[in-house]
């Protein structure tokens, strides 16, 4: 497995794979901001916005690639920009193709996101996930993230059902 940081240029050549990854995640029930009716055009447009943030320096996007060079997963780091918050970043949209799960892709992406956060001077990471994603809750716990709390009816799953979230944080040493 190879982990690479996306640039605007590499993103342009890999947008189709990223779009397929986002569609796969939603199709398998991931509560990542999109509903089941998401279209390929909407998913592609989402990535356009992400690459604008990469260009302005407020976002980091990592991709995981298999031995054949195919995208197997991606994860993002949203870098807080206000003067009083430049020590933190939010982990967003850890996505792994359903067919590539349970092979260490997510763990490796998280390890590399933490390295990227440190490189950007960040000492605190936070994230949220659906409480319905029991595997995700255990995953972040295993990676050393601490539960900060939960908010009921935080978001709708792709099927429209409202679910609470779990908020995690991790101080980086």
Percent of the chain residues topping a pLDDT of 90: 87
The DSSP letter of residue 101 is T
89 to 23, 40, 99, 170: CA distances (angstroms): 25, 28, 29, 10
pTM (global) more than 0.75: yes
74 to 5, 8, 90, 108: CA distances (angstroms): 10, 15, 15, 10
Residue 73 confidence (pLDDT): 98
Q: How confident is the model at residue 89 (pLDDT cuts 50, 70, 90)?
A: very high
Percent of the chain residues topping a pLDDT of 70: 98
Residue 173 confidence (pLDDT): 80
Residue 166 has pLDDT above 80, yes or no: yes
Residue 130 has pLDDT above 90, yes or no: no
Domain ranges of the chain: 2-123
Residue 137 structure tokens: 């809750």
Residue 60 has pLDDT above 90, yes or no: yes
Residue 10 structure tokens: 């590499």
Tell me if 5 sits within 8 A of 114, measured CB to CB.
Answer: no
Taking the alpha carbons of 146, 151, 97, 5 in that order, is the dihedral positive or negative? negative
Q: Which of 91, 136, 85 is nearest to 113 (CA)?
A: 91
Residues contacting residue 162 through CB under 8 Å, at least 6 positions apart: 153, 154, 155, 156
Q: How confident is the model at residue 135 (pLDDT cuts 50, 70, 90)?
A: confident
Residue 56 confidence (pLDDT): 95
Distance between CA atoms of residues 158 and 97, nearest Å = 16
Residue 150 confidence (pLDDT): 96
Tell me which architecture the domain covering 2-123 has in CATH: 3-Layer(aba) Sandwich (3.40)
Residue 134 has pLDDT above 70, yes or no: no
Q: What angle do CA 111, 113, 117 make, to 5 degrees?
A: 120
What is the mean pLDDT of the segment spanning 135-155?
Answer: 94
């Amino acid at each position: 497995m190879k982990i690479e940081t996306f640039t605007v240029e590499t993103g342009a050549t890999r947008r189709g794979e990223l779009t397929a990854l986002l569609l796969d995640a939603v199709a398998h029930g991931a509560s990542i901001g999109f509903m089941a009716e998401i279209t390929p055009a909407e998913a592609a447009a989402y990535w356009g916005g992400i690459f604008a943030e990469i260009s302005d320096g407020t976002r980091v996007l990592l991709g995981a690639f298999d031995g054949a060079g195919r995208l197997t997963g991606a994860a993002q780091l949203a870098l807080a920009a206000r003067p009083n918050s430049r020590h933190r970043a939010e982990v967003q949209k850890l996505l792994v193709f359903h067919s590539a799960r349970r092979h260490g892709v997510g763990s490796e992406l998280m390890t590399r996101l933490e390295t990227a956060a440190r490189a950007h001077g960040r000492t605190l990471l936070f994230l949220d996930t659906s409480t319905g994603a029991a595997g995700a809750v255990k995953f972040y716990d295993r990676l050393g993230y601490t539960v900060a709390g939960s908010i009921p009816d935080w978001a709708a799953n792709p099927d429209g059902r409202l679910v609470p979230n779990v908020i995690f944080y991790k101080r980086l040493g």
